[in-house]
Amino acid sequence: MKLTSLLYIQFLFLVAFTLMPMPKEFEKGDKKVKILQRCAIKFSSEQNFPDHVLQLLRHYHKLMTLNSDCKFEESIQKKNLNVEGQLKFNINLESDEQLYWVNDTKQEAYTLEIDEKLNININALNHWGLARAIDTVNQLTENNEVDNLPLKIYDEPAFVYRGVMVDTARHFLPLKTLERTIDALVINKMNVLHWHITDDESFPLLLTNYSQITNTSKHWETAYFTKSDVSYIIEYASIRGVQIIPEIDSPAHAQSWGRSPELAEMIITCGSTIKQYGQFDPTLDLTYEVLKSVMQDLNDMFDKVQFIHFGGDEASNSCFDQRPSIKEFMTEHGIATYFDLQVYYRQRQKDIWKNQVKSSKRVAYWYNKNDQLPAEDNDIIHWWGLTSQLVDVKNRKNDFILSDYHPLYLDVGVGNAFGNAYDAYQTWKDFYKWSPQPPDGFQGNILGGEAPLWGETNNQNTHFQKMFLRSSILGDTLWNPNSKQNEQFWEFTQRLSEMEDRMNKYGFPVSPFTHDYCKRHTKLCFPTLYADQENNQTVQQSSQQSDLILISQ
């Protein structure tokens, strides 16, 4: 029987095969083998492992052994290769080049075979595919036994972009928190950390020529990142198969740029009662002098990343109204509206980026239903409207990243920075119901999706509780959206339960998705996705029947 014909075989032996995300294709046997020698794990290849691959293997060796007495150096030595109950990896990579991003789903594809003697054969294009394969093996072996042997898996993500966003401006997140976020993404087969570095509240990236921007806005003395910090986190992420996408937002969300007296003029302070928000005056030469220097730093520091995020959202018309000189400038230059003024700013910013900084990196911008500035063909549209609203931009042929405000914003529903209500909380089930399906006639290309965690009410103490497990579900959907069509809802919750336990085991204090009784009885508690609607209908029907009885009496 061909492997392709076995796509989603009714999830036989599901209790023992609860991977998250589920593989694209697999073929399973019926044997179970115990892992008797956890420390005896071996990694071998006909090739010499380059340093970045060795570091990846070291990372997973630590996860798989959970024992400081298990020596990684012994796992790569070509001796003691036939210990009973030993995991023996044979790794074949088509390329051992270190990657800092991928732009095709096949670059993360892998084939995996495990036989009854625990021989593990992995074939992948590169070390990112290897990372995904080893993560699958880690899940399969975490209970010190391997079920369904012999096992063959062919796996490949459905979407090339599967990420989260962190915000280091509202609350400073230490480098260690960024490291651990990357570690958490890897065990969910997610591959993007979008780093919203700056905002109104602070600019925690130490600049070359305008260090006063950082020094006058940092939350405390050491609450900033250096160029060496940036290089470190890019390398750390690359080794594990995660790309970093930095964001410096403008022309709005920019109050932190003008805290020093010599730069104050470039910022217009916005807001009627709370004077903490600001945006650029896009008519001043000073604005573009500072912008050029900051963008040069950005290009230099993040030289190994694929593209840069320029933000570009939520510029306020009323804020521009505060300076009569802006209207005068618009009249002199034939700029009719504030929308056109933002277009003017964006065009000058892109000109600086391309022709003065001379960067070839692609640029991403925030977009939603009400905020649709022109985009060049090569720009990436980061959509934070609803996927159903993509009909408004269906003729744009750009690459798109989806971050639907509902349900993918992780901070929604917990109140804003001033204790006021902030929309409705989006539960893990809301995430499960979401699907990255564009409307008919859509001409753009969906790269994937991202769950943003804005930082107004999030810091390092709440970070992992708010980010997971909901973003784990997004990762599951973007890797294999077909799994929802081929499993019952209780089977998904069983997989989610295993992911919760897995993340807790590795020290991530994630929020539980249910209570312990339902974790042990998923089939009883989660028989169907829409049980909540059925319960509501039952309550309504009972209420209606009671009303009829009262009327008849």
Q: Per the structure block, which two tokens stand in for 495?
A: 């997989």
Give residue for tokens 């029907």.
Answer: 541
What b/e sequence results for 106-139 when a residue is b if at least 16 CB atoms lie within 10 Å of its CB, and e otherwise? ebbbbbbbbbeebebbbbbbbbbbbbbbbbbbeb
**SS3 category, 20:** coil
- Amino acid identity at 453: L
CB atoms within 10 A of CB 94: 10
By the 8 A CB rule, do 483 and 7 touch?
A: no
By the 8 A CB rule, do 362 and 380 touch?
A: yes
Rg from Cα positions in the chain? 26
Q: Per the structure block, which two tokens stand in for 96?
A: 């051992």
Cis before 341? omega within 30: no
Rounded Cα distance between 226 and 232, Å, is 10
By the 8 A CB rule, do 320 and 326 touch?
A: yes
CB atoms within 10 A of CB 12: 10
Q: Per the structure block, which two tokens stand in for 435?
A: 């699907």
**SS3 category, 270:** strand
Identified catalytic residue from 113, 142, 289, 314:
314
Contacting residues for 23 by C-beta, under 8 A, at least 6 apart: 136, 153, 154, 155, 480
Nearest to 213 by CA among 266, 172, 160, 281: 266
- Amino acid identity at 467: M
User: Read out DSSP for 333-361?
Assistant: TT--SHHHHHHHHHHHHHHIIIIIS----
Q: What is the DSSP letter of 105?
A: G
Cα–Cα distances in Å, from 200 out to 94, 164, 168, 363? 46, 21, 11, 21
Rounded Cα distance between 508 and 177, Å, is 11
Nearest to 251 by CA among 223, 271, 270, 227: 270
The sheet carrying 110-114 orders its strands as 25-34, 145-155, 110-114, 119-124, 88-93, 42-44
State yes or no: is 314 an active-site residue.
yes
Rounded Cα distance between 391 and 384, Å, is 14
Pairing of strands 25-34, 145-155: antiparallel
Q: Per the structure block, which two tokens stand in for 451?
A: 């769950």
Give residue for tokens 């790309």.
Answer: 243
Catalytic residue ranges? 314
